[in-house]
Structure formats: structure tokens, C-alpha cells
Structure 1
Amino acid sequence: MTHLKDGQGLSTGLLIIMSVTTGVVVANNYYNQPLLGLMAKDFGISELQISSIPMLTQIGYAFGLFFIVPLGDKLRRKKLILVDFAFIIAALIGMALSKSPFLLKVFSFIIGFTAVIAQLLIPMAAQLATDNKRGRAIGTVMSGLLMGILASRTLSGYIGAHFGWQAIYYVAAVLISLLFFCLVRYLPELPAEFKGSYGSLLKSLVTQFNTQPNLRLASFRGAFDFACFSVFWTTIVFLLEAAPFHMGSDVAGAMGLVGIAGAIVASYVGRLSDRMSKNKLIIMGIFIVLISWIVLGFSGKSIIGLIIGAFLLDWGVQSVHITNQAIIFQGNPPARNRINTVYMVWYFIGGSLGTLIGGYIWYYTGWTGISISGIILSLLMLLLHIFGRRKLNLTNSD
């Protein structure tokens, strides 16, 4: 069993393993998005009804963040991760075997609840990295997570179009099983730092939120950030399946390849955050998100415009997200798992609301309403950042 200490540094091999793990696990949350049309047809329900599937996955993820991730400060993290893997595999198989919309929703929630491994590994990377390479380590692990999110849509869209929507969940169960054995061999052990009860552990989340203004602002900013992301990726499949595109789930999923390019660009933000103003990086990311939604608003009938808009959206959203995490992990705090929990719970609350809003706005107003909602969310995020920094006196905190 390998034991490492805080700030000892990460080997390239271990960093790659952690990055791949985050990508493979978090992909489970997003396989459903390009398959919503196929699921709706299979069960004979409307697009509005099926749009709750990704929302429930995100809500499940938020619950998992709250109840599971804080345990990373109390329990042996490696054992916690491996036990969780067993539940992930069971949830994926249950999803594939679902015979009703109700079971789909139940297992969608469970998949989200168990797929929180990434949020244990990101603080671990921050903990092991040296001070001058912490942003780089976070950015590298996050790049794996982002590519997992985006590649998942391409993979599931293709497999769903050719083998049925259930097939991707069987494939995912096999991938997770293989990864389990890799982690048994290579993932290090880190000592737990919290000695209190589970109840006091959860209560301390409130303390972290109340006593850290940087964390509060990053949490609210992250909620709007992920809402901008979710509104688009929940509804793009409906747009592409309708006139004038008439495209299937494989093409809708291929949009994820565009997002990967944006995510790769955003991954360099982690390195930039080690040596330049995080406030400037945040503002840059928000403006890119806003511009992306303006482009998308004029691209309801243009596949080229949608590609450009998707690239910009993922670039901007992930730039804000990565910089947020660099901010909250400054100083390598001992409560890093709980700090990450607070931030990510708010992040996925925002994503869930974005998914919910997207489903209703698409149903009643179509792409025009979706674009306007994206622009409004972007502007609200910008105003929150500007006035939040001013109110909390954070101008010189970077």
C-alpha cells in the first residue's frame, strides 16, 4: 500500500490515473443527454417528461456530494472510493435493465449519487501537489473530468443510435470494473484528518460556508456557471432532432467533440491561475460564456454556428469552474474535501435548475427562449461576481 504526504508532489503516472478515473466515472452522469429522444420514444413519453432524467442525475450527484464526499476528510479515502465503485456498477446495470420511466428516474438518481469519485480525487491532487504546481494538478485532473463529460455524449450518442440506449450502460459497467482493479494497485493512501463524528462532519459544512467569503462567492458563481452549461446540453439534442436538422442521437452526441476542444483550452487555465490574477481569469471566462450564448442565439438553423457556440460555451464555463477551484483550495486547507463539497453542491444545484429550466423553456418557447435564458444567466453571473467581490471586500484577495 502506497502512502503519500501533503505537498509531496504527484508523479506523472499517478496524475494520469487520477485524471482518467475522474473522466470515466463522471461520464456516467452524462450518457443520458444525447439519448433522451430515444428514451422518450421507447417509453412513449414526451420530451418534457424525459428531460427530468438528467435533472435527477444532477440532483443525485448533489446529494452524493453532501453525504459522501465529506467522508474523505474522516475515512481512508482509497477504501471509500473502492466501495463506492461497487455501487456505481450496480446502478449502471440497473439503469440498463429499467423497464419503466419510473425505474429510469430512480437509477438516474442513484448513478448521480454514486458518481462523486472525481470530487474526492480533485482535493487529493490539490493535497499532494506542491504549492507552485497546485493549479496545474487541479487543471490536469479537471481536464480528464471535462473530457469525460464531453466524450460521454459522443460515445453514448453513437452507441445509442446503433445498439439502443441501454448498451452504453453495460459498456460503462465494464469500464468501471476494469478501472477498479487499476485503483487497487496504484491509488495511494492518505491519512484522515477529521476526528469527530459524522454528524459534526456534516455540520462543519455550514461552518465552512459561513466563515469563508471566497468559498461563498465561488459557490454562487459556480451555480450560475453550470446552469449556463446545463441549459444548452439538455436541449441541444431536441434542437438537432427537429427541423431543419433532423439529426439522430449520434450526431447530437458528436457535439461533445466540439466541447472537448473547449475543455482542452480551458485546462490551461489551471496553469495560468498559478501566476496571474484569478479575478481576471473569472471575468474572461464569464465574457466567453456570454459571447457563446449570443452566437448560439443566432444559430438556431446553422450547424456551424452551433459548433462555434458550443466550443465557446465549454471554454468559458470550464475556465470559470477551474479558477473557482483554484481559489477555494488556496493555502491547501485541511478541510479541502468539505470545502469542495460546499462548492460542488451549489454547482450541481445550479446545474439541476438549468436542466429543469431548459426542459420547460424548450417545450414552450423553443430555441429562442433557450438562448435568451442563457444570456440572462450569463449576465446574472457577471453581476454576481462584480458586486459580490465588492461587497465581500475581495478585491485584493487574489
Structure 2
Amino acid sequence: MNAQLDISQNKALLWLMAIACGLCAGANYYSQPLIHSIQLYFNMPESQVALTVTFAQVSYALGLLFIVPMGDIVNKIKFIPWLMFCAAIGLLMCAFAVNLPMLWVGTIITGLFSVAAQVLIPLATMAVKPEKTGEVVGFLMSGLLVGLLLSTSLAGLLSNLFNWKLIYFVSAVLMLILAYLLKKRLPHVPVFKMSYGKIFYSMGVLLKEERRLVYRAIIGGFAFAAMSILFSTIAVLLTSEPFKLPDVLVGVATIIGVFGALATAKIGKIADRGHTSILTWIGVALMIVSWALLYFGGKYLTSYILGYGLISFGLAVVHTSNQNIIFRLRPDAKSRINSIYMTAYFTGGACGSALGVYAWHHGGWTMTCLVGVCLVMGSALFSLLDRLYLNRAQTI
């Protein structure tokens, strides 16, 4: 049976994979809007409770670096459901946590193993025809980004309506169901023989030999950093003057970002036609324009919402173009390539969040917007270097 035809034509399987990507990505962001509720529940200092967010980010980064590369050397049909099962265990620990350390352990386990999404995406690229790569990756990224964007809103909503632990329990159950369904439906793809230790040596070789991978990883890191500034400043901006929005409405204000995420499948189709370079520049330009809207969004809510939607769309364009390029570099190393790229991507996100807090405290919203523009210009610089490198390689 042709695995390529199976996954490119099997819409039910693609939907399952997209939902799984969204659920895995969102699992690391539930704690962000729940800090106050968790603090009240355990009666612990806010500074300690806030470490939950840090543990989620650090453990996910470690999973990207040390677990995702294994996708090239293990049976993915067993590996992906196993990762999701372990992530569900972590979520259940969070749901039934009786103290803060137990919540931390559950958060760390969830972060480490929710990288299943980053093994699913390379698998998909191995099970489709090359001309369908961008379309399929874009579709799965739609699921991942929607899950990421909706996670905080849903966590806050369920917390306000019921209990902060409910989102963890519901997610764990859904994770187990999806793991079971995927185990029966995932396509067979080649497994490459290599020791675990040699994986990391080969990743070093990839960084040395694949200049476009390095450039595209840095482009993605800068772009996600520019977006992540908003993650760390949105609550302080929209809950203060002149807006004074309640927590639930802060989450609702960012829903517009979902429309940008949903566009990634269409973007992927355009990328499949070889337009990745122009798409990258369009995405960068959209992100620069978005920061102009966001600047005025310091006074006008409508401008902020439009800017948030535009930067989400611009990021989706850049990210989808990047993945369309990197997954075509080495067919035998897609999980390792994805590990390198996504580690840079989320490292950029963590740095962007930290820079957002720093800029806010040292220069308010104006400084925050200026830093955001500078980060987008970082993406533009490395996009230019990538273009020059490609032109030089084509003339040799």
C-alpha cells in the first residue's frame, strides 16, 4: 500500500494528526492564565507558582532537543502514541495535584513528552508526495497554532466556570483517545539505523553542512520572539488603563489570531509552488506593519486586536515557508532537522517573552513595540542572507 497516497488523501487521518498537534502544543500553556487560581488553591507565594510556566517552557525545550531527534531512528507508529500517553500521565498528575511540587512534576512530564507533535509533522512529510509537503505541513501547523492560541483562553474559561484543574483532566482524556486512534492509523515510514549518541553528532554535521537550515532556524527564532513579546505583555497592557479588561476578555481579544493560524494550509500550497522566498518577505512585511498597529493599540483596542491578528498571520507565513524549505533538505534526517529548527524557534520565543517584560518595565508600551520591530528586522536580515546564499549556490 502506498503510504504517500494514504496520508495525502486520508482527510480523517490528517484531521486526527492536526488535532493531536494542537492538543500537544496547547498542553504547555494552560498554566499561564491560571497562576492566580493555583496560588489561591495551594496558598503559595506567586513567585513560586509562576515557576510552573518556566518549568513548562524548559521541559518542552529539553524534549525538542533530546526526544524529537529519536523520531528518525524508532518506529513512529509506536513512538508517537507512547509520547502522547506519557504526556497524558503528566496532565493527570496536574489534574490531581495535592501540592505545588506535584503540579511541577506533572508540568515537567507534560512538557517533555508533548513534543509528540514535533515527531508527527516530520512523519507527515515522509508520507506524502514532495509536491504536497507544504500543504500537509501547513494543515498540521494550523492545528498546532490553533491549539496554542486557544489553550490559554480555554484554560481561563473552564477555570472561571468550574475549576482550574478541569482543563488538565479533559486534555489528558483527549490525549489518550487520540493516542489510541493514531496508533491504529499512522502510516509506515522508513526507520534509519543509528545509535542515540550518533544522533547528536549528525545534528552537528547538519548545522555545519546545511547553511539554509541555520538561516531558516534563526529567521523563525526572531519571528517567534517578536510574537512572544505579546504573550508576556498582553495581560499587563489590557488589564490596565485605558482598557481594564477582565482576564476572560483578555483571552477573547486574542482569538483573532486563530484566523492567521487557519491560513497555514493555504500558505503551504503556495509554498509548494516554489514561492517560499516571496512568502517569507510578505510575512516579514506583515509583521512590521502589525507592530505599527500594535503601537496605536496601546490606546485603541481595535488597533491592538487588528495588530495581533496581523502578526499571527505574518508569523504563520514565515513559519510555514521555513518548514517547507527545511523538510526538503535531507529526507533521511527530518526529525533531527525539525529538532534543530524548533529548538531555535522556541528559544526565540522564550527570549522574546523575557525581552517583552524587560522592555515594558524600562520603557512601557513604546519600548515594547520598538523591541518587537527590531526582532522582526532580525528575521529580515537573515532572510536576506538566506537569499544571497541561495543565489550564490545556484550560480556554482
Q: For 1:334 and 1:64, how far apart are their aligned partners in 2?
A: 20
Deviates more, 1:343-352 or 1:96-105: 96-105
User: Alignment partner of 2:256: what SS?
Assistant: helix
Give 1:169's aligned residue: 168
CA shift at 1:119, angstroms? 0.9
Q: How does 1:25-40 map to 2 (within 5 A)?
A: 25-39=24-38
Q: For 1:149 and 1:382, how far apart are their aligned partners in 2?
A: 25
Give 2:120's aligned residue: 121
Q: For 2:368 and 2:104, how far apart are their aligned partners in 1?
A: 24
Q: Of the candidates 349, 352, 368, which is equivalent to residue 351 of structure 1?
A: 349
CA shift at 1:31, angstroms? 2.0
Deviations 1:347-395 (A, max 9, x none): 1111111122223333444433322221111112212221343357567
Q: For 1:132 and 1:263, how far apart are their aligned partners in 2?
A: 21
CA shift at 1:326, angstroms? 0.1
Q: How does 1:16-31 map to 2 (within 5 A)?
A: 16-31=15-30
Could you list the runs of 5+ residues in structure 1 that have no partner in the other structure? none
Return the letter of the residue paired with 1:234: S
- Does 1:362 find its partner at 2:369? no
Return the letter of the residue paired with 1:236: I
- Contact map agreement 1:56 1:352 (CA 8 A) in 2: no
Give 1:244's aligned residue: 242
Deviates more, 1:384-393 or 1:167-176: 384-393
Change in 2 beyond 3 A, CA 1:290/1:336: same
Give 1:227's aligned residue: 225
Return the letter of the residue paired with 2:166: A
CA shift at 1:328, angstroms? 0.5
Identical-residue share of aligned pairs (%):
33
Q: For 1:140 and 1:352, how far apart are their aligned partners in 2?
A: 25
Paired residues, number? 393
Give 2:152's aligned residue: 153
Deviates more, 1:213-222 or 1:386-395: 386-395
Return the letter of the residue paired with 2:373: I
Could you list the runs of 5+ residues in structure 2 that have no partner in the other structure? none
Deviations 1:247-281 (A, max 9, x none): 23321222342110111234321010011421111
- Does 1:376 find its partner at 2:374? yes
- Contact map agreement 1:35 1:157 (CA 8 A) in 2: yes
Q: How does 1:243-282 map to 2 (within 5 A)?
A: 243-282=241-280
Return the letter of the residue paired with 2:196: Y
Q: For 1:37 and 1:367, how far apart are their aligned partners in 2?
A: 24
Q: For 1:295 and 1:396, how far apart are their aligned partners in 2?
A: 38
Task: Compute the TM-score of the two structures, normalised by the length of structure 1.
Answer: 0.90
Q: For 2:236 and 2:393, how far apart are their aligned partners in 1?
A: 42
- Contact map agreement 2:126 2:189 (CA 8 A) in 1: no
Give 1:82's aligned residue: 81
Give 1:299's aligned residue: 297
Return the letter of the residue paired with 1:205: M
Q: Larger relative CO (CA 8 A, sep 6+): 1 or 2?
A: 1
User: Alignment partner of 1:75: what SS?
Assistant: coil
Task: Compute the TM-score of the two structures, normalised by the length of structure 2.
Answer: 0.90
Q: Which runs of 4+ in 1 moved over 6 A?
A: none
